[in-house]
Structure 1
């Protein structure tokens, strides 16, 4: 009889032990990751009570596959759109707390007398919180819909991106064995280049592929195709010098933007759970109790940094970004553990032989301890807040609340700033595409030619044929027509606009000249540069049409998922805290003229709110649904970036000729008012509070304990610590929120 392979026996032992421990941990309401780690310790080489794993190398290969699927799954949950939407709060908070945690981890290693590489990896291990543990804790404690949970999830998105960057930087650092600024900078630029290229090409080609083969995709084939994409990107990432984990994460992020993203995530869950379990079990197998006994101090220091230092800097970062004291403290108490990315960083150090063997079990021990403490840290946030409010002077608390209200107030995004941002994005995207075409062509095409001169001529033709639309766009394509037209009407902006246009032309000329100089002599390169520029001018109309088709394909693919969701979901009401103000003037030929706001249904179509209508000398603040739109009305519109973008696209169509209005002075704004227990508005209805009369405006939203109530009725009763959002006259709102009073006090 044939003997059963040892690998199958080992897997049977691993999964049986993991099944028992995870059921036990589920019953104890503890994270399942800890159950896997304990199971790994039980079947590992340092615990001999039960049968142990024989072939650790084979299990390690399975664990490597587990890392790939784990990062692929995290990428499917990540989404580049989430990164765009997280906003300043998450970015500021994440940068401050990650930088501080890594620094304190590095200093702790130095105090312990470790080598430079051990200190750096120890800081990296402590810097990234566990998304898995936090999400499960939110579900178990019922905190998912609280306001601070949104801050935490935004920070976790940024931390995931930082972790990817850390993997690249630490790999570069391990290979060079020294901290060299130029190599680190090259690694960051290389990462940015490939991330941009992979994202652009992935969004352009993959959704189109899914459309073509949609009828042939059932659950089985979709799963196989998704895994094939994942492993293909893993191979590609390894080919250009990045880790397999990075490739898996990037492909997951790309697929998350497609219409099949949610389905792929659902289908992949069992595969990810299986291989993820093997990975975490392999983590537990490396726990050596003897090593832990020999190194209790780094475990203690790492735990203290996560339980005290990291929450403190999350608190500081969130406060600086404009969050209230309550949300900032709760977010800090939540982000006090390490998890899957920390294990991957520790594994990287071991695999590259640049860290001591004790660092891995130390990281696991810290993770186990902080995972146990996470639910208790979350529960302690409320009692701790009460203690802090008693200790902090009322004057300081009021200053924090005023700063938070001012930081989160909606402001008008300037046209010039928006144009600069679009300009930079436009240059980067097209430059990356052109450079990638050049690199691929120079790498592959010379293989087909034996004569260098003929080969160079052919390669040059191919390069400029493929890159011509993007070279034309680099020079002539306007990135924001509305902002450009608005600014051009103002003479003081014409000089900067001409400089920007000149800079684009120079960048394109330099790129063309550099490409030609690679293949030909200087004199020939100069003639070729002039000839190519002439051809771009001659065929500009055709290039414009072709580039517009490419751009439209990309935009449709990028927003296809949201468009399908909107078809099946009712339009969401405007959340004032996610929006900003924009101004538009209605042209005399606009189709919306002569109809009421209700008939035009702008809110239902685009999610925007009309906050004010300026009609000659008459100003209509917070118009009703019966207000009629007239020619030359100046509309003050409140909406999110995405909603206003769709509204601008609508304005550019033949169906409407609304044009952006250039306001010399903004007369209304949207501000928030944090109600303190001593406020005269507490325990009164909105009608009885006379906020409308005092602000010459209207209450458009109330936020209470993380719950957001839009357009509350006049009988709604206000409570202490409510955040009240008001649209109204700037001067009156300044008086209402205390800003005008403080300015007068300063003058006195």
Structure 2
């Protein structure tokens, strides 16, 4: 029996493995490998793939899983925080791109309806590529990451009205107003239904599923919630991806969201590869090669146009020029929903075949450039800011902008011998809370307008601005700060801030939070005093608890972890722990552990008996250190102490004997 699609799946995945292995050796992004795979194996290449439509269906599943995980990691609270950016930023970006593209396309000879439709296509960016890259690089919570997510959400929403307007542009008129009102009603109905599910139904369902202790059932439940929500939004005319994002938001409010992400991630990685392959399959290589100069010119024009619109949009939302530039280099490409819209345009004769191929080529070229542009966006932005304006003009503009940022009563605020926090995310907020409890004066610099306004409303001593600007640092008296903590997710911005701080003060103790240990050396070289990488600090917290369970003395554990931090985490590198490190953490009581075992009602062998009658010491050589009973601890243990139901026994002995006692309890 022949399994449909099996040949196509084998060809796609097998060819992808070979190409991506080559790309990895050349340090090229894997996304490019998938695009090249589609070009080679598609109908316009070697024609190795026959079931192109079925492959596109698999790619849709990949987009569903991608948006589902993004929704889980973002949460409803995070979406509410950026609601203004979604509406204002998305509307300005899509509207501005639509107007300019329509004007240029009309000047190039397209009719007005076709020019407007081309504006629809160019205004959309790639949700799949951008969010995947931002997620991999840990930039989802940076200002440019939040801006990108907000604008992409708006684009996903605006696709529906664009689909409704397309027949009207083609002359197939209908009651457009009624259709839009009906669609708005359906959208509100779906949001209301999803709210009820997230508030009442899904938490109860997940509790029952988790109690079943079945990994298969948990994964199946996650997939059903994801697909059911996507199907619900699709059935009322909204996009599948938007439904999957809503499903992720529902799960994000649950305490099981981390396990859901881990369970779905392998499915996403497999199916999202089919999306990129399907995009590559659409390209006519012969047409692409024959018209390469013209296509490159069109691509450059699209990039410049979208960059300008996005930069203006972000700056109008009161973000600095650097954030605007990085956002532009993140969202300059033409996205996957434009492909869906283009097929509708073909059916209504709004796209000629040659225009369609031009559009495909522009889309693939911009998608292929996206990994490089996102990777180098901070460096390119810094260079453009330095080279684009004369130093005198740039400084004057920054001074004018920074004066607008400072609060009206800023002159009355003074800081001395204080703690300066750069970034008021989770880490910054926690440090500020600890400083407040300790009575330490502190100031905060935050670039995200939403976080700034929320913190300002809560009475925090916060200043809006870019900490890389000298005037902002001077305003919070950086030169008089005792400690500076930099807790932001942008490594390029972090390095700029450190350099600027060291221009103002050499005495402040600068502590930097980074994501990877590879960033430590460069950060220290620029002037940081301490660098705390998230990836190894998590490991330290884990093995601290492990060593504690092995009865290593606490002072030895503290000394060992202190050495690791003092030597910039080299002990945790691939070289391993040296002999000196091993000697310092040897246990003083080898092969002995402390365990906590519960006494349940059916433990008839020990319930109601004294310790001497239970045989724990005589049979197993186990010592009872303490008993927890009714939220209190019994530490004065005697042979006549009676064991009761629901007691928690703190036992000391060898691991083997502890295991024997555990079996003795449950038999």
- Give the TM-score band, short-chain normalised: 0.5 to 0.7
After superposition, give the CA deviation of every residue in 1:388-436 in whole Å (9 maximum; x if it has no partner).
34266243332123234459999xxxxxxxxxxxxxxxxxxxxxxxxxx
Listed as ranges, the matches of 1:594-605 within 5 Å are none
Question: Which of residues 7, 17, 20 is equivalent to 2:15?
Answer: 17
Instruction: Check whether the contact 1:287–1:364 (CA below 8 A) recurs between aligned residues.
Output: yes
- 2:123 maps to which residue? 127
Question: How far did residue 123 of structure 1 move?
Answer: 2.6
The yes-or-no answer on 1:198 pairing with 2:196 is no
Question: How far did residue 291 of structure 1 move?
Answer: 4.3
Instruction: Check whether the contact 1:168–1:187 (CA below 8 A) recurs between aligned residues.
Output: no
Question: Which of residues 193, 201, 211 is equivalent to 1:215?
Answer: 211
The yes-or-no answer on 1:384 pairing with 2:384 is yes
SS in 2 for 1:706: helix
After superposition, give the CA deviation of every residue in 1:631-679 in whole Å (9 maximum; x if it has no partner).
xxxxxxxx9888899x9xxxxxxxxxxxxxxxxxx9x964457789987
- 2:320 maps to which residue? 324
- 2:250 maps to which residue? 254
- 2:5 maps to which residue? 7
Question: How far did residue 308 of structure 1 move?
Answer: 1.9
Instruction: Check whether the contact 1:62–1:278 (CA below 8 A) recurs between aligned residues.
Output: yes
SS in 2 for 1:338: coil
- 1:161 maps to which residue? 153
Could you say if the C-alpha distance between residues 53 and 701 of structure 1 is closer, same or farther in structure 2, counting changes exceeding 3 Å? closer
Gaps of 5+ in 1: 411-572, 580-602, 612-621, 626-638, 648-665, 693-697, 723-748
**Equivalents in 1 of 2:164, 2:380: separation in Å?**
40
Instruction: Check whether the contact 1:34–1:368 (CA below 8 A) recurs between aligned residues.
Output: no
Listed as ranges, the matches of 1:352-391 within 5 Å are 355-358=351-354, 361-374=357-370, 375-376=372-373, 378=377, 379-390=379-390
**Equivalents in 2 of 1:224, 1:680: separation in Å?**
51
Could you say if the C-alpha distance between residues 130 and 574 of structure 1 is closer, same or farther in structure 2, counting changes exceeding 3 Å? farther
Question: How far did residue 83 of structure 1 move?
Answer: 1.8
- 2:562 maps to which residue? none
Instruction: Check whether the contact 1:7–1:55 (CA below 8 A) recurs between aligned residues.
Output: yes
After superposition, give the CA deviation of every residue in 1:269-321 in whole Å (9 maximum; x if it has no partner).
22222222223222222211344468768844652344323222333233332
Q: CA RMSD in A?
A: 4.9
- 2:508 maps to which residue? 716
Aligned length, in residue pairs:
476
Question: How far did residue 206 of structure 1 move?
Answer: 0.7
Could you say if the C-alpha distance between residues 91 and 404 of structure 1 is closer, same or farther in structure 2, counting changes exceeding 3 Å? farther
Instruction: Check whether the contact 1:169–1:187 (CA below 8 A) recurs between aligned residues.
Output: no
The two structures have a TM-score, normalised by structure 1, of: 0.53
SS in 1 for 2:283: coil
**Equivalents in 2 of 1:127, 1:298: separation in Å?**
21
Listed as ranges, the matches of 1:491-640 within 5 Å are 607=433
Instruction: Check whether the contact 1:83–1:157 (CA below 8 A) recurs between aligned residues.
Output: no
Question: How far did residue 36 of structure 1 move?
Answer: 1.5
SS in 2 for 1:323: coil
- 2:143 maps to which residue? 151
Instruction: Check whether the contact 2:345–2:351 (CA below 8 A) recurs between aligned residues.
Output: yes
After superposition, give the CA deviation of every residue in 1:675-734 in whole Å (9 maximum; x if it has no partner).
89987987x9958x5699xxxxx999898963489xx9994189xxx9xxxxxxxxxxxx
**Equivalents in 2 of 1:335, 1:199: separation in Å?**
29
**Equivalents in 2 of 1:124, 1:54: separation in Å?**
30
Question: How far did residue 166 of structure 1 move?
Answer: 2.1
After superposition, give the CA deviation of every residue in 1:515-549 in whole Å (9 maximum; x if it has no partner).
xxxxxxxxxxxxxxxxxxxxxxxxxxxxxxxxxxx
Larger deviation, residues 128-137 vs 264-273: 128-137
Instruction: Check whether the contact 1:76–1:265 (CA below 8 A) recurs between aligned residues.
Output: yes
Could you say if the C-alpha distance between residues 326 and 262 of structure 1 is closer, same or farther in structure 2, counting changes exceeding 3 Å? same
- 2:404 maps to which residue? 403
Question: How far did residue 231 of structure 1 move?
Answer: 2.5
- 2:493 maps to which residue? 706
**Equivalents in 2 of 1:243, 1:673: separation in Å?**
37
- 1:79 maps to which residue? 75
- 2:308 maps to which residue? 312
**Equivalents in 1 of 2:408, 2:160: separation in Å?**
34
**Equivalents in 2 of 1:398, 1:299: separation in Å?**
42
Could you say if the C-alpha distance between residues 96 and 163 of structure 1 is closer, same or farther in structure 2, counting changes exceeding 3 Å? closer
Instruction: Check whether the contact 1:101–1:305 (CA below 8 A) recurs between aligned residues.
Output: no
Instruction: Check whether the contact 1:31–1:133 (CA below 8 A) recurs between aligned residues.
Output: no
Listed as ranges, the matches of 1:418-457 within 5 Å are none
**Equivalents in 2 of 1:206, 1:578: separation in Å?**
32
The two structures have a TM-score, normalised by structure 2, of: 0.59
**Equivalents in 2 of 1:151, 1:68: separation in Å?**
25
Could you say if the C-alpha distance between residues 132 and 68 of structure 1 is closer, same or farther in structure 2, counting changes exceeding 3 Å? closer
**Equivalents in 2 of 1:675, 1:238: separation in Å?**
44
